[in-house]
Amino acid sequence: MGKALIIGAGGVASVCIHKCCQNSDVFEEICIASRTKSKCDALKAKLDGGKTKISTAQVNADNVDELIALIESFRPDVVINLALPYQDLTIMDACLATKVNYVDTANYEPVDTAKFEYSWQWAYRERFEKAGITALLGSGFDPGVTGVFSAYAMKHQFDEINYIDILDCNAGDHGYPFATNFNPEINIREVSAKGSYIEDGKWVETEPMEIKRVYDFPEIGPKDMYLLHHEELESLALNIKGIKRIRFFMTFGQSYLTHLKCLENVGMTSIEPIEFEGKQIVPLQFLKAVLPDPASLGPRTKGKTNIGCIFIGKKDGKEKTYYLYNVCDHQECYREVGSQAISYTTGVPAMIGAAMLLTGKWNMPGVHNIEEFDPDPFMDALNQFGLPWKESFHPDLVE
Ligand code: NDP
């Protein structure tokens, strides 16, 4: 049916590529392009021989001209950006210049300020619309499936949704005292930032990890979770009718938090460059270099993730609660595609989002967040491609 150019060859890209190959009727041809070509070649070597034709390329995704040259030579129908959030705008620029659809899993963040928001990407709306191409923003799990869950709840269960709590639980144990499950630099920037949530149309800011709750997760049990700022809060508060409050919580174990505090206290999580032996280095980037590569956690990680949304709203004039979630097992993911569940729960929706555009099931020129599209075909595909969802009409609520 079509051709996809996948940029990045890390943990998430690896899963997405496996899944494109499982969906070869839609993904007839893919090109894996990243900064380090050997990683692309290793993925090709692992997956070659199936129905999906695979090629590889070297690209610096910070460079728009290089991206344009690559897109013009491969001529994809969609570009799936699975590099880092820093590359979102250059890849969008290249897609605009070549009139190709765009998909990503994380919103733009400038390298020198730990601040992420949609404004930079939303500024491309008119240009994408005029070019007749679609940018699908945030097609991972959170953001991503959490937005699809919200659109599905709105379409099938509610007349209005007043409260959403997004709960992200990773009960996996990799056996290291400290490691991150996806890119350490992006992960630490996210969790060491101030927390925030939206109430009555306004952002309320908290200190990092200030708000803690305990939640008894289905199929996992009680876990400590902390309120974080998260990017989908911004778009869901605009796109879901009737929202009064929306919050995001993520679970963290005590060992992770103690290590993080210590690293922060000694300055290792700073993104301010320092002079070291005559060279400028960024402490957080140095820390990334000494931490375990998230891709290496796959064989060691045991346990499950549970990510989902609790909705409170109204249906036919009555108050109603509804919980949609997915439970994913780290070891089952590893057996299937050689990756742990965090990469898996992101890579599968990235493939599905691209498939929605390739098949024409989703077609809305402009720059759009995932909850703006019809959730039904995406929900079906989640069941088909390894992330089946469950629902509960009487969930425990978060205080
Ligand atoms: P990794 O660090 O494992 O992979 C990133 C890949 O991008 C690497 O292959 C890297 O190349 C490549 N890359 C980085 N910079 C460039 C560049 N300038 N040009 C070309 N390639 C580049 O990250 P993950 O796979 O863990 O994460 C990928 C994305 O997914 C991130 O944006 C992350 O924020 C997002 N994510 C989203 C989630 C969601 O639920 N929505 C959850 C988890 C992650 P090299 O090998 O040379 O370093």
Distance between CA atoms of residues 248 and 143, nearest Å: 11
Pocket flag, ligand 1, residue 230 (CB < 6 Å): no
Select from 6, 34, 288 the residue to mutate for testing ligand 1; criterion: most ligand atoms less than 8 Å from CB: 34
Q: Residue 163: enclosing H or E segment and its boundaries? A: strand 160-170
CA-only gyration radius of the chain, Å: 20
Whether 228 is covered by a domain: the verdict is yes
Question: Measured from the CA of 85, which atom of ligand 1 is nearest?
Answer: 32
Whether 345 is covered by a domain: the verdict is no
Q: pTM for the complete prediction?
A: 0.95
Question: Measured from the CA of 13, which atom of ligand 1 is nearest?
Answer: 25
* DSSP 8-state symbol, 242: T
pLDDT at site 296: 86
* DSSP 8-state symbol, 359: T
pLDDT at site 136: 98
What CATH number corresponds to the domain at position 232? 3.30.360.10
Pocket flag, ligand 1, residue 13 (CB < 6 Å): yes
Please count the structural domains in the chain.
Answer: 1
Residue range of the domain that includes 286: 145-339
Whether 30 is covered by a domain: the verdict is no
Contact (CB, 8 A) for 361 and 377: yes
b/e string for 309-338 if b means 16 or more Cβ within 10 A? bbbbbeeeeeebbbbbbbbbbbbebbeebb
* Residue carrying the six token digits 């439970």: 327
Whether 347 is covered by a domain: the verdict is no
Question: Which residues of the chain are under the pLDDT cut of 70?
Answer: 114
Residue with CA at minimum distance from ligand 1 atom 31: 84
Distance between CA atoms of residues 290 and 313, nearest Å: 46
Whether 19 is covered by a domain: the verdict is no
Question: Measured from the CA of 61, which atom of ligand 1 is nearest?
Answer: 19
pLDDT at site 23: 98
* Cα–Cα–Cα angle for 306, 312, 318, rounded to 5 degrees: 140
Q: How far is the CA of 7 from the centre of ligand 1 (A)?
A: 9
Structure tokens at 275: 């002079």
pLDDT at site 128: 98
Distance between CA atoms of residues 371 and 369, nearest Å: 6
Pocket flag, ligand 1, residue 148 (CB < 6 Å): no
